[in-house]
Amino acid sequence: MGRGWRVAVVVCVVSLSVLHAQSRFDGRWQGATVAGRRVALDLKEISGSRLTGTFTLDQQTVVIADGRVKDRTCSFRISIEGRTPSVSGELLGEQLTLAVEGVPNPVQLRRVK
């Protein structure tokens, strides 16, 4: 195996690692709505394209349902305050933007380290 082949393999492995790191949703995310209500998202598991975890609005925590991940986007449903809205999110670095069905302004969350 020539040196060029080994370099190409290393570049591919590093590229795949970077792509995987950019699409990781697992962990704890925090932010606030435009009205100042605290929001936290705790994603405990990613299994292939499946997403599980909890969503907290102020002091009310609920389990997310039908969680899905594809590339840098996620989607799930929550049952909170008498509603069951769909939620979609887009990951950009250490920021996750959530759009909640029926809520006009997206919620910006930052990864908690």
CATH topology of domain 25-111: Lipocalin (2.40.128)
Cα–Cα distance for residue pair 105/28, rounded to 1 Å = 21
In the prediction, which pLDDT does 56 show?
97
Q: What is the pTM of this model?
A: 0.77
Domain chopping of the chain, boundaries: 25-111
Q: Map tokens 């990781």 to a residue.
A: 24
pLDDT along the chain (113 residues), means of 10: 56 44 78 96 84 96 96 95 96 94 96 91
User: What is the pLDDT, as a whole number, of residue 4?
Assistant: 60
Give residue 44's pLDDT. 78
